[in-house]
Structure formats: C-alpha cells, structure tokens
Structure 1
Amino acid sequence: MSTKYFAPRGGHPGQDQLLTDRAIFTEAYAVIPKGTMRDIVTSYLPFWDQTRLWVIARPLSGFAETFSQYIMEVQPGGGSDRAEPDPDAEAVLFVTGGTASLSVNDQTHELTPGGYAYLPPSSGWTLHNRGGELLTFHWIRKAYEPVEGLDTPDVLVLNENDITPTPMPGTEGRWATTRFVDPADLRHDMHVTIVTFEPGGVIPFLETHVMEHGLYVLEGKAVYNLNNDWVEVEAGDYMWLRAFCPQACYAGGPGRFRYLLYKDVNRHMALPRRA
C-alpha cells in the first residue's frame, strides 16, 4: 500500500466562498483544519532562507504548554546554517515531501518522505533543500528536561518505511503505532510516533491521561471524540489536546487513517513552590 503524507500548499480562497470552516478552540482541545493554512497565516524565521512555515502549536496560556510545532516549507536552494537558536531545545523532524539535506555531528543525511530525525539540544544541526522539489516537513521543538544520572539522547535518523508498526493488543492490526524511539529509553522526554487505523479501527474507550498531545492527520479521515464532542477530521487537520482531555476515535474509511502524534513522557510532574 502506498504511503501518503498530506502537506499544506497555501493559496487563498476566493471572495465567493463561505468563511465558515471547522476550526475549534477550547480550553480542553483545539482543531485547526487544513483550510486555515493559507498564505496569509504563514510565518518566517531568522536565518532561514527561502522558507516559510505554519505555526500549528506554541506554548501559550490555555493552549500548548510543553512544545511548539511548525510545518516548514523550503524552496529549492533554501534552508539554514543556523537552524535552532535555543541551546536547550531538542527537535524531531518528519519529512512529508521533497528531500532534506540534514547535517549533524559532521555527518550529512538525506531525509525523504517518511524520514524522521531526533536532534538533541545543542547539536548544531543545519538543513537545506538541495533538490529541485519543494521540501515540506514538521519541526517539533521542546525544551529538553535533563535528569541527573541519565545521558542526553543520541541523534537518530530513521524512516518510517523501515519500521514495522506495533499493533495494539486485541485489535488484529486495525490499530498500530510506528515507534521511532524505544519506550523504555528514559533519556527521552517526548515521543513522536505515527498512529495508523485501518478502516473500522477504533480507540474503544475515552483515554484520559496526563500526556499533552499534538496530532497532525497525514492521511485519511475519521471521527474524533474530544472532551465528549464528536469532531470530523481529515488529512491536513491538526488537533491539540491538553492533559487529561478525554479522547477516542473511530476510523470509518474508506482508506487508512494516520496521524503524526506528539506527547510528553518520562518525567516527574513539576510542582509549584512556596514563596
């Protein structure tokens, strides 16, 4: 089965179109549909040439607390030799189109669609589009939380097409997760995975747990239950879920439903301090 990775293309709707869309922003969750990712809402970054991006999550009161997430669009010849200005920031990159030339630790890697890279803090990575096609990729950033006695994670460069998804028990493969990092590796304080549902696959209960989530739909469509609201989502949509937001989904088909998932893991909960 061919693998699909949706990426926004910008543009601007005509004056004759209705402005109503499926965008939702609540204290428990947000849905940013693909129709909102237009030219007018792009951003730019210092030291990134021929590059624009859509910011789909950022630390903000009442919104994401642990991470930021960008959809990057780099023209041929574009890129950056000063990609990450924050020495405490770790990153995950996931390529959805084109080819990224990633340099880190004196090695250069070519990331094609499905390509994944984990980049620890202060790794001094650079990235360029040296091909002839538009490069699109997700860039997920988090301030790394070091733990005394645990080393910083190593650089990882992988591709999802080389990894066998892990089926959830009792689902006969209808619900599976592609994991790029060993869940038992406590050096990591975030996981970015790909979750796949075959038609008819479900999350059969309302998950309610501590992890904050960011979900970008790569392929297909489904109905998601978010804090007891049923919301239809499709390829190109983004969902943010705060910690403990009840969540479940049903993938009705006709094809697979797949999303890129961020969550924070493996650390104690920060406690307030008395003055």
Structure 2
Amino acid sequence: MSDSQAQQNKAPVRQERHDSVGVIVIDRPERKNALNAEVKATLVRCLREFEQDPAIGCIVLTGAGGYFVAGSDIVEMSTMQPTDHALQGGDQVFHVLRGLGKPVIAAVEGFALGGGCELALACDIIIAAEGASFGQPEIKVGIIPGGGGTQRLLRSAGKYKTLLWSLTGDRIPARTAYHSNMVSELVPDGTALERAVAIARQICAMPPLAVRAIRDAVRLGADASLEAGLAIERRAFERLFDSQDQKEGMRAFIEKRAPVFKGR
C-alpha cells in the first residue's frame, strides 16, 4: 500500500488512554484537521464512548500535526443547502460536548479557526500554546459562525471584542485570547497536550460527584440571574452532603490522610 493510500484509509480521529484520561486526537493533516461530516460524526462517537467508560474521568480534545482545527471543511460546505445542515446534524458535536457529564479540556496548538474555535469554546477548559491563534473568519466566505461562536465569545470576551473579531474575521493571538478570558492557561509551544493531560489527571483525582456539580452550576448559572445561579449552587452544595465522598473527604482531612473517592 502506498503512503497516499495509507493516508486515505487512516481514521481522521483517534482515541488514546492516559490512565483515567481519555484523549481524542483529530488527525487529518492534509486539511489541517478541518472539520467535515466524517470528523464530526467520529468525534461524537468517541466522546460518547469515553462518557460511558467508567475508567475515564476526564477528556482531552486536541489535534495532530501542530494544529488544533483550521476550520470547517469549506470544500464540503460550498455545495451544501440549508436542509443539508439540518439532515446531517452538523452541530451535533457541539450539543454532545455541552451535555457530557465529564469535563473536556481543549489542548490547542497552531490554528483554532472557525469551527475549530467553536470546538475549543465548547470545552470546559482551554489550554493554548503561546503561538496558537483563534478566530471566527466565517464572514470572509459569506456566512457567520454556526456552532456557537458568537454566543460563546459573547459570554467569555464580551460584546465589543466579539463584534470586532466576528465582523472582521481577524485572527486572535493566543495571548490576546487569554487576556480576553477565552483561554484558561497559556503554555510554551508544543506543550499544550502535556499540560492538558496533567490538569485532567488532577481533576480525575477529585470526587466525581463534586466535579459534575461544579460544572453544572457554572454552565447553568452562566445563563441565569445571580439569584438563580446562587440557588443552583446552594442546592448542589446541600445534595453533596448525602454522598459517601463528602464523608470520606472530610474524614480524610481530619485524619490528615489522602482521601479515596468512589463517586458515590
């Protein structure tokens, strides 16, 4: 088999397991990991498999070849009609990410543009290399972001940055994204995945029920009034006092030993 044939037969997305951390790698180097229907469908399958795997406590999403995702596949999109988007469920991967019960960390090197920027923004934490760049350049090809870009940028960077970036389509350097609350942490080039896995391992060592409660409170509270958000937080706080992990965590603190959490 020739190298070109092997490349064509290679799956565009692969899964790796790093102890309790599930890593999903988009690996489509000939298109700088651009999202097409096959990639999106495979991402959905991989995310659901890790979600259902009790051995996996946290998920890391990244791209191979020095890129995260350079955007959606314009070649595929250029001939699509409105009904094609509805029938193919092109936004399903973003819905699945939002509904997962486990944290997802984006490890971004290189480009995270268009659908790639939206994919990162749909994650819970973004670790970006200093040389990475983000952006929503859809306006340059006659469309707008369709995977949550305008709304997630609005909720992280605010109205004025969102309109500037969305209306110009300009790239957003990682350091600018960090200072605009788009990025959780900046790291040296080539180390985003390593750092993301380290953070994921740290989260996996925490009590799973509390991890889920914090994520739910933050996600639901982001679109609620302060009073509603405080009520969501308080109810979750109270419910955790009925868990074995709460008893174990506080007992271990008093006994000055490491806790053993079981997610119950």
More helix by share: 2
Provide TM-score, normalisation by structure 2: 0.29
More strand by share: 1
Provide TM-score, normalisation by structure 1: 0.29
Of structures 1 and 2, the one with the larger relative CO (CA 8 A, separation 6+) is 1
Q: Please tell me whether Structure 1 or Structure 2 has the larger radius of gyration of its CA atoms.
A: 2
